[in-house]
Amino acid sequence: MLTHIHQKFYRSNATHLSESDIIEIRESRGKVPNASKKMVKKFHIGARRVYEIWEHNERLQQDLNFPPPSDSDDSSILNDFKLRNLHTSRMEKNRTVLS
């Protein structure tokens, strides 16, 4: 069975909602007049998403908050990659000069 990513996840640029936001949206149903419109305006989301949350059919959020780069092994890997590319480009220049 083929499943598209948008059937499981919201778009990556969709408004991220915290657990407390989701709880507030769920509790607003039936207690707040025009709850869907108010939640749409307050959280900058679509009415469809509000109804999905109310019906417990919401999709997963894409969390794209990566930690800032550190001076760990990851940065040394990147530096090694840059050095290899620099070395390779110099070798190619030398080959063309020698030819």
pLDDT band at residue 67 under the 50/70/90 scheme: low
Q: What are the boundaries of each domain within the chain?
A: 1-65, 66-99
User: What's residue 64's pLDDT?
Assistant: 58
DSSP characters for the chain? ----HHHHB--TTSPP--HHHHHHHHHHTTTSTTHHHHHHHHHT--HHHHHHHHTT-PPBP----PPPP-SSHHHHHHHHHHHHHHHHHHHHHHHHHH-
The answer to whether residue 26 scores a pLDDT higher than 60 is yes
Question: What mean pLDDT value characterizes the chain?
Answer: 73
pLDDT band at residue 57 under the 50/70/90 scheme: confident
Note the pLDDT tens digit of each residue in 46-55. 898 899 889 8
